[in-house]
Amino acid sequence: MKDQINVGDQNSQKTGQSTSVESSEVLEKRLKYWKLTSIVLFVLLIISLISRVTIYEGSKRNTESETNKDTSMINTATPTPQPQPTIPATQADPTIGKSYGVFYPYSEGITINNNLPTIIGKVAQKSDIYLDTKFGLEKSPVSGEDEYFLRFIPGRVKNLKVKIDDIAVKAVFGTPQYPTVLCKNRNLNPDGTSSYDPKTGEKSPPDDIFNLESDCLTNKQSELPPVVFFTKSETPLSKGKHTLTIQGNDNYQTMTFFVDTEYHLTTQDIYVVDKTSEYYFLKQYPLIAGDNCSEGYYYDSNYLKVPLPSFNNSNLYYGISFPQTKAELEDTTRRKIQIAFDSERFDLFFPQSSTFYEGKSFYDRNNRLSDYHQLFLPKDQLVFPDGSKATYVDDSVFFSGGTYLNGYFEIYPIDMTGGEYKGFSIPWVISGSSSCDG
């Protein structure tokens, strides 16, 4: 029995020891398991955090990229069109050709692409008289009486030498800016008044009447019309700089210009057609090139009065066109105007009026002089490009309904390299109701 008990105690001891060992092993295994699990979970947490940060940063970068992209598009997108003095796309390619030529006076350094240019200039008549004259009695369109007039005759220019590079050009022709000068000074009282006795026909104070041509030239010198002259280079000009010389008996002036047959201008700014622009006004409401009956600046039915625009672009000058049908409106192909003297024909082009057409004359019935920016062209010497006589047509061809107008013509812009800006012609109508018409 004692032995059994001892044996039992030993077994119990062994069993207790075995259970204790097993518990330690289990605990150790569990600890290892939780450690491993914790490590795995920690690693997964780290990975998850890294993934979230990566996704967030990527999303942030994409958002910033989209934002920058949108901003870039806003910054580089075409802005809302603003009214600019430019040519619409349909008019962006003017007729390409050679420059008509050069005109004097003009700024130094003008460049053209024509080595046989027309030369047009304006010179004042003072002590030198550059055209033939006719002196005598003519019926005044103002007073209705016979008055002494000095008339300047278009034709070959005298007392004026035109040279290109010191070589004289032989054929030089001209026309007066306005055709006649009244050979009389109107005298007034100090208060600006005068009186007239219809019974005796005497005026008080009496006017100064110059019944000799020499007296008229001497006393009306400030009112003598400038001469617009025309000539051509007789031989082709080389590429490069050239000198134009204008020389009278006591006058000498020069102007330089350049020839480059490859020279082209960018399309020039014309005037945007909006209702506040001067161009719109001229375009929509043809202006009247009516008769001018002002004393001293006389209407003449043999001349066409051309008041040119004053738009300021040094690369543009202007031509004149006589359309004959509605289909020819704003199209200079057949109806551009040239001027002819004897057997010589010249392109007709002029700079803006404020540069070129100043003239002095009486504005009203006193001695105050006023500037005029107009040109009177001799009708008999105007021709179409085919050489036929150029005449304008009655305004009824273009305007419906009864009007008091009896003619229509157009002025169109040209750039210095011969580009004609069709579709930008400015219309002028000719009055048929003036008291000057007889």
Token pair, residue 433, equals 């109701």
β-strand pairing of 349-350 with 316-321: antiparallel
Buried b (16+ CB within 10 A) or exposed e, 121-147: bbbbbeeebbbebebeebebbbeeeeb
pLDDT at 367: 44
Sign of the Cα pseudo-torsion (360, 361, 367, 370, in order): negative
Indicate whether 30 belongs to any domain. Answer: no
Total tally of structural domains belonging to the chain: 1
- DSSP state, 207? P
Burial of 59: CB neighbours in 10 Å, binned 0-12, 13-18, 19+: exposed
Tell me: the pLDDT tens digits for 53-64?
454 555 544 444
Supply φ then ψ for residue 351, to 5 degrees.
Answer: -75, 180
Residue 337 near residue 381, CB atoms below 8 Å: no
pLDDT at 57: 53
Tell me: the pLDDT tens digits for 40-53?
666 666 666 565 54
Indicate whether 2 belongs to any domain. Answer: no
pLDDT for 362 beyond 90: no
Rounded distance, CA 3 to CA 9, Å?
10
Indicate whether 11 belongs to any domain. Answer: no
Indicate whether 22 belongs to any domain. Answer: no
pLDDT at 94: 64
With CA atoms as reference, report the closest residue to 147 among 105, 185, 179. Answer: 185
Top mean pLDDT of 12-21, 97-106, 267-276, 371-380 is at 97-106
Indicate whether 165 belongs to any domain. Answer: yes
Mean pLDDT of the chain: 75
Indicate whether 49 belongs to any domain. Answer: no
pLDDT for 194 beyond 90: no
Q: Among 15-29, 186-200, 368-382, 413-427, name the one with the lowest average pLDDT.
A: 15-29
pLDDT for 25 beyond 70: no
127 versus 437: the higher-pLDDT residue is 127
Report CA-CA distances (Å) from 387 to 133, 329, 362, 382, 394. 27, 20, 37, 9, 21
Average pLDDT over residues 214-233: 91
Report CA-CA distances (Å) from 131 to 102, 122, 290, 342. 22, 13, 26, 15
Range of the domain at 94: 89-431
Residue located via tokens 């007296």: 215
pLDDT for 128 beyond 60: yes
Residue 177 near residue 371, CB atoms below 8 Å: no
pLDDT at 365: 43
Helix (H) or strand (E) segment spanning residue 368: none
pLDDT at 83: 40
Q: Among 78-87, 173-182, 193-202, name the one with the lowest average pLDDT.
A: 78-87
pLDDT for 168 beyond 80: yes
Residue 335 near residue 322, CB atoms below 8 Å: yes
Supply φ then ψ for residue 322, to 5 degrees.
Answer: -115, 80
Indicate whether 162 belongs to any domain. Answer: yes
Average pLDDT over residues 285-305: 65
Predicted confidence band at 78 (pLDDT cuts at 50, 70, 90)? very low
With CA atoms as reference, report the closest residue to 207 among 180, 231, 183. Answer: 183
pLDDT at 48: 62
Tell me: the pLDDT tens digits for 364-413?
444 444 555 578 899 999 999 999 999 998 877 877 655 556 788 988 88
Indicate whether 16 belongs to any domain. Answer: no
Tell me: the pLDDT tens digits for 136-161?
998 887 777 888 999 999 999 999 99
